[in-house]
Structure formats: structure tokens, C-alpha cells
Chain A
Amino acid sequence: MAEEPQNNNAYWAANVRIILISLAIWATVSFGFGIILRPALSGISVGGADLGFWFAQQGSILVFLVLIFFYAWRMNKLDAEHGVEE
């Protein structure tokens, strides 16, 4: 029992790290590519649109989807590694 808090702390630290990485991607595709970097990326085209426009109206939503499923999958693995799954 004595090692349980330590295990839980390591689990939480790993979770926070995964969250921070995921949120960095979340912000890059929406606020980054979709808004702030759009003028800089205007030379790159996706079909008939520029890259920033595509991220703002399509791409960021698709990345959000992948992110949530990645997080759910990664956390299930982490839960099992630390023996805290239900």
C-alpha cells in the first residue's frame, strides 16, 4: 500500500505530459495554422484553398478527432501500465 501514492503520482505526471503535448497540437492546428500563421502559409495550397483556410474550415476539426481518439487510446494503455484501470 505504501507505494500506491507514488504510483498514482507517476501516473498523474504522465497523464499531464500527454495532455500538454495534445494541447500543443490542438492550439497549433487551430490558432496557429488556422488563424495566426495563415498569411505565412498562403503559398501552400490544398485543392482550391490555401492551407490556413483548409485548417480553419476542415483540417483542424479532423485533427481534433484524431487527438481525442489518440488520447483515449494512450490513456487506456497508461491506466493498464499503472494498474489503475477499472
Chain B
Amino acid sequence: MDQYTLNLLVVGASFALYIGIAIWARAGSTAEFYAAGQGVPPVMNGMATAADWMSAASFISMAGIIALAPAGGYAQSSFLMGWTGGYVLLALLLAPYLRKFGKFTVPEFVGDRFYSKGARLVAVICLIVISVTYVIGQMRGVGVTFARFLEVSTDMGLYIGASIVFIYAVFGGMKGITYTQVAQYCVLIVAYTIPAIFISLQITGNFLPQLGLLGGYAPTGGDVSFLSKLDQVVVELGFTQYTADTTSMLNMVFFTMSLMIGTAGLPHVIIRFFTVPKVADARWSAGWALVFIALLYTVAPAVGSMARLNITTTFWPNAVEGNALDGEALSLEEINTNPELAWINTWVNTGLLAFEDKNGDGMIQYYNDADPEMQAIAAERGWEGNELTRIDNDMMVLANPEIAKLPGWVIALVAAGGLAAALSTAAGLLLAISSAVSHDLIKGSINPNISEKGELLAARISMGFAILLATWLGLNPPGFAAQVVALAFGLAAATIFPVLMMGIFSKRVNKEGAIVGMLVGLFTTAIYIFLYLGWFFIPGTATLANTPDNWLFGISPASFGTVGAILNFGSAYLVSAVTKAPPREIQELVESIRVPKGAGAATGH
């Protein structure tokens, strides 16, 4: 059976599974549609949260983002700490209390706690901006993964993916999405782990990638540590060493913090904790979610760095035993005739890898041609620039099974895993958007007397529209796909996280404070990002060049969410201090959400 048929079979089987689950888990009430009937066991909710959280970017790109970073792999550790540390904040500061509150959406909490439809509306706007920007990348991820493995166009892939999500999200709501995400988690973690174990065995002799990262370099007997070998090889070729220290400690701290509080403030993650039966379950569930996330996140830096060393030594065969530059580079003849290296041409065909014999010597020299010392060596040896012109970040995960010569079904599994990661995150985001529209806008403002049946229908129609909008945005992505993630995290950090935390931990912060705080966080963060990345991301409209010299105190636009959050907290406390304290019943509401007792009785309304 050829690879294409195998991919089709495995991906098709995974889709059949998702649709089967959707039919089994139809939602019959709004409580089931918004919060899966609040009956999801904590371990399962942890798995669903992990799938919800880990997007196509986590699955396909993160290992490469870390391993191939020009500033070195260590400097990218912010992603690892930030995207996991946020769960500590969720478990300690938000999830149990929001579960006790017992309602369906994040804006609903904001509206009730701050006794204001205005505050609820501001929260809805923040939620929609955050979730819509985030969902664009997911829809692209679905299209790209389809295109890569199933030989359809990106647009066609997007249509197929959107139809699948449509089936299980519109009929199943949160209930269908939750159980599908559990299945999707299983698919994606198996697909990620198998190639990781094999590459770790090959490079370090240790089958656990987490230990392999700290182990010895197996091809020379394991006396030299893997990390020092990697550092030595990349430095010899003029790149920054993998373990190099960061150039800006302050920015790294702020960036990590932005990702942490941004994670804790993402509405589609928060609503997952509304689905468990009890307050105690919300606490356990956050722990289980992190267990399942950590299985991938502790493996990612190992996989990325091992794949990078593997590719580098492939192009400099002498680097395995000694110094890369003491031997010759990989020859074109070798690439085209050696069956062990057939994967190089396979991936060149996908556009993720590219080489060009610039000086016509029949060999492919891979080095950093921006490095002055390498330029001197290149001039001496007659090289005319780096000839391995492109190694895409995604290569580090997608190409591993072939490089490690694993059987075809593993490659097919990686395709299904990438699709599972993208689809599960898209579905979670779409639910957050549609519940904000049907529950907060329609039920909360436009037509409060809507019947249960009417609201369920409204929720399904909103979900349908959200999918159409996301598909359209995926087909016509605004030219800023990379920057929008910074915006989503920055805004979640600067708006949702502070307002929720103050709503729980302070009885004094009132509606004026909450509204001013959210608006200050929203505008300062958005303006700071627009200043450097272009107003509304329109290319060429940036006021200042996006370089560290221009940044305020060296804080990058992606790290500004932390500052936005501080400004939000500060202005909310200030305004609250000079205006009237919240009414008695609101202070009692805060008292009641702080105590677990009685959550079981709470219902949706």
C-alpha cells in the first residue's frame, strides 16, 4: 500500500471516530450545549483541555520554533514555561471559583459580579477579538495539514476540516466537542510520542526524550553530552549555540509572564472548567490537563534539538565523529542516489526544505552566512553563501518519522495527529465565540425571555455562523497570521485575566473600576502592538520600527500583555477607590464563590 492510501485510511478512520462520537453525544439542552451538562469527569476534562489547548502550532511548529531559533533554543524557553505555568494560575486563582459561580460563559461572570451589562459587553468584545484572531491560525493549520498529507489544495482541505467541525460542534455543542477532544488528544499524543522515542533512541540511546536531552551523544559512544555536541556543531557552522543565554533577561521575564497570564485568560480554556461536576474537580482537572500537556511540552525541546543535530550531521557527515569543517559537505550525488537520504527530496517537493548548489561544486554547504568568521572561511573555500536555503520549523516534527525510517503508518498517524490538534482547538474556540453570541448577546441583552429551546437553536445557528466566518477568514487570511497570536495572548493577559482575578479576590473593585480597567488594558496593549506591527496589522503603517532599540524599556510587543495587565489592575483599583463600593448582594456573591459548598445546586440561570 502506498503512503497516500495509508494517510487517507488513517485520517479517514480518525474522522469516522469523531463523527461517531458526535452522534453518540448530541446535546439536548443549553446546559449540555454550553457546559456538557457539567458532568465531565476531571481526568477526561483534563484530556479535553489538553487537546483544546494544544493547537496545530504546538503540535507541528513548536519543536522547530525552539530548535531553529536564531537566538538559540534556550531563549525560546518562554513558550515552554509560559504555556504550562498558566495552568498553575488557572488552578489556584480562577478555575475553582468560576466553577462555583456555576454559569456558562466568561462575560456572564463579569456581568454578574460587576452588576453591569456594560461590563459584560466589554468582556464579550474582548472575548470575540481574542477568539476570532486565534481561530484564523487554526483554520489555516487544518488546510495546510490536509494539503501536505492528502494532496488536496489548502482551500479544499479547509472546506473538509470545516465540515467535520460543523457536524460535531453544531449537533454536540460542548458535550460533543468534549468527547471528540478526548479522542483527538489520544490520537495526537501517540502520533507525537512514537517518532520522538525513536529519534531519542537513535541520537542518545535513551528511549525517554526528556532524559535523552540530558544524556550522551550515542553515535560516538555517549561520552560527550548531547547538548554540548549540539552546541559544538552549530557554533562551528556560525550559528548561536542552543544553550546560549538570553540577550534580554527583562524581556524574557515579561514575555514568559504574558504567556502565563494570557493562557489563564483565554476564554476557550476557562470554559472547559465549567464542565466538571464539582469545585474540587476543577482543581484536579487543571492538574490532569497539565499532565497531558506536559507529555508533549517536555518532549518538544528534545525532539526539536535532536532533529536539528540530525539534519546538521546529515549535511556535514564528518560532524558525527569530529569537526564538520574537517570533512566535505554532503554531495548532490549522495542526496540523489543514497536510499537512506531519500527523505531530503521528499521534503524538498513539499517546499519545507530547499537547497541550491550556488557555487556549482556538487556539494551542499550548510552554514550561517551572516556570521563574519564563516564568511572568511567561505571566501577561502570558494563557497558562495549558505546552500541549504530553507529548513522550515515544521520539518522538525513532520519529517522525523521518515528520517528515523519508521513504517508508513507512523507517518499517516502524524498526519492524523496534526489534524486532530488543529480541529480540536478550532472547535473549542468556535464554542467560546458562539456561546458569547447566543448566551451573552441574545439571551443576555437582545431577548432575555427567549425559551430554552429557542436559545439552543440560537446557539446552533451562532455556531454555524462562527464556522462560516472562521472558514472565510481561513480562506482570506489577513496578511498578519504570525502577529495575531501576540495580539490574542496580549489581550487575554491585559483584559480577561485581571478582571476575573479582581472579581474573585477583591470585594472592593466595582463596576466603574472593572470597565475602566478592561478598557485601559485593551487599548494600551492594542496600541503598543499596532505601533510596532502596523495599525490593525496593515503592512507599512507601523509608526516605529520593530527593533529592540525602539521598544519601551526593551519590552517587545509580544511581551506587553504583562504591562497591560499591570495597568488594568492599577487603574481598576484607583477608580474603585474613589467611587462607590459594590452593593451588599454583590459582596455576598463574592463570599459565596469563595466557598465550594453548594456548587452542585447552582444551575445555568
Binding site for B on A (CB under 8 A): 5, 8, 11-12, 15-16, 19, 22-23, 26, 30-31, 34-36, 38-39, 46-50, 53-54, 56-58, 60-62, 64-65, 67-69, 71-72, 75-76, 79, 83-86
- Interface SS of chain A: helix, strand, loop or mixed? helix
**B91–A11 touching, CB < 8 Å:** no
State in angstroms the CA–CA spacing of A73 and B328 once bound together. 59
Interfacial chain A residues near B227, Cβ < 8 Å? 48-49, 53
Smallest Cβ-Cβ distance to A66: which chain B residue: B287
Listed residue (B215, B591, B597) with the most chain A CB atoms within 10 angstroms of its CB: B597
State in angstroms the CA–CA spacing of A48 and B225 once bound together. 5
**B88–A34 touching, CB < 8 Å:** no
State in angstroms the CA–CA spacing of A70 and B93 once bound together. 15
The number of residue pairs between A and B whose CB atoms lie closer than 8 Å in the complex comes to 142
Listed residue (B210, B290, B301) with the most chain A CB atoms within 10 angstroms of its CB: B290
**B80–A61 touching, CB < 8 Å:** yes
Within 8 A of A (CB), among B431-490: none
State in angstroms the CA–CA spacing of A46 and B215 once bound together. 9
The segment from B7-15, B140-148, B278-286 found at the interface with A is B278-286
- Select which of A8, A47, A49 is within 8 A of B243 by beta carbon: A49
Smallest Cβ-Cβ distance to A57: which chain B residue: B301
Interfacial chain B residues near A57, Cβ < 8 Å? 73-74, 77, 80, 213, 298, 301
Interfacial chain A residues near B215, Cβ < 8 Å? 47-48
Say yes or no: A8-B595 contact (C-beta < 8 A), given A19-B93, A47-B214: yes
Cβ-based interface call for B45 (8 A): no
Within 8 A of A (CB), among B239-296: 243, 245-246, 249, 252-253, 256-257, 278-280, 283-284, 286-287, 290-291, 294
Interface size class of B (residues with CB under 8 A): 35 or more
Say yes or no: A71-B214 contact (C-beta < 8 A), given A8-B595, A47-B225, A49-B243: no
Cβ-based interface call for B17 (8 A): no
Q: Mind listing 16 A-B residue pairs with CB under 8 Å?
A: A11-B594, A22-B88, A31-B256, A34-B256, A35-B77, A47-B211, A48-B215, A49-B213, A53-B77, A62-B294, A64-B294, A68-B88, A69-B287, A71-B283, A72-B283, A72-B284
Interfacial chain B residues near A71, Cβ < 8 Å? 91-92, 283
Say yes or no: A36-B280 contact (C-beta < 8 A), given A30-B81, A86-B598: no
| 5 further A-B pairs in the complex, CB-CB below 8 A; given A8-B591, A85-B280 | A49-B227, A61-B297, A65-B294, A68-B91, A71-B92
A-B pairs, 7 with minimum CB distance: A47-B214, A48-B225, A56-B77, A72-B283, A68-B287, A48-B227, A84-B597
Interfacial chain B residues near A72, Cβ < 8 Å? 91, 280, 283-284, 286-287
Smallest Cβ-Cβ distance to B224: which chain A residue: A48
Listed residue (B73, B228, B243) with the most chain A CB atoms within 10 angstroms of its CB: B243
